[in-house]
């Protein structure tokens, strides 16, 4: 799996724009872009009282478990994972090998509609991360080794 490339303000601004456009178009409640370790890089929407730090960690681990099961049953491609709820549902999509887009949306919205709008966001995020990677291909950002109790200060706007 690729590491998260080093990100500059321009990258985070582009990621935020992709998520904001997605939330507005899809009527999702919350969109999180997380690295492969579950650290939240950026988010858009209303988290309310949700513990998004724990959500990020659990969502990426859930996706990793699903990928492992898929390999065991010889299904080598898992592009998304969906969890339906009574009030809110969760869709987790792989963003190339860089991380995941997790979307919390009202259960009355169909997952197909959310997936439709998410495809553009995933493509935009992927393109921005590829551009960031190409600026410094030998450099990577490993949030797990940073040993942070919160990644908030790292991605805080100036």
* Digit-coded pLDDT (tens) for 43-63: 999 999 999 999 999 999 999
Instruction: Give CA separation, 53 vs 56, 68, 100, in Å.
Output: 5, 23, 14
Residue 25, classed as helix, strand or coil, is: helix
pLDDT digits (tens, 9 = 90+) for 62-90: 999 999 999 999 988 888 999 999 999 99
Instruction: Report the pLDDT value the prediction gives residue 1, as an integer from 0 to 100.
Output: 44
CATH code 1.10.3720.10 for 9-135: no
Cα 80 to Cα 13, 148, 157: the distances in Å are 25, 28, 30
CB neighbours of 147 closer than 8 A, spacing ≥ 6? none
Q: Is the pLDDT of residue 99 over 80?
A: yes
Task: Report pLDDT for 139.
Answer: 78
Per DSSP (E only), the strands in the chain are 30-35, 40-45, 80-83, 88-95, 99-106
Q: What residue ranges do the domains of the chain occupy?
A: 9-135
Higher pLDDT, 150 or 143: 143
Average pLDDT of span 116-138: 94
Helix 9-26 to helix 111-135 angle (10° resolution) is: 170
């Amino acid at each position: 799996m690729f590491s998260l490339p080093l990100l500059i303000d321009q990258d985070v601004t582009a990621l935020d724009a992709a998520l904001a456009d997605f939330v507005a178009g899809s009527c999702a409640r919350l969109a999180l872009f997380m690295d492969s370790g579950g650290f939240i890089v950026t988010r858009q929407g209303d988290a309310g009282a949700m513990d998004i730090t724990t959500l990020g960690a659990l969502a990426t681990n859930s996706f990793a478990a699903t990928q492992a099961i898929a390999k065991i049953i010889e299904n080598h491609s898992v592009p998304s994972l969906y969890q339906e709820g009574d009030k809110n549902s969760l869709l987790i999509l792989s963003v190339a090998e860089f991380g995941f887009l997790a979307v919390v949306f009202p259960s009355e919205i169909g997952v197909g509609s959310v997936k439709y709008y998410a495809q553009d966001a995933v493509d935009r995020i992927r393109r921005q991360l590829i551009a960031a990677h190409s600026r410094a291909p030998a450099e990577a950002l490993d949030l797990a080794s940073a040993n942070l109790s919160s990644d908030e200060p790292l991605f805080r706007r100036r």
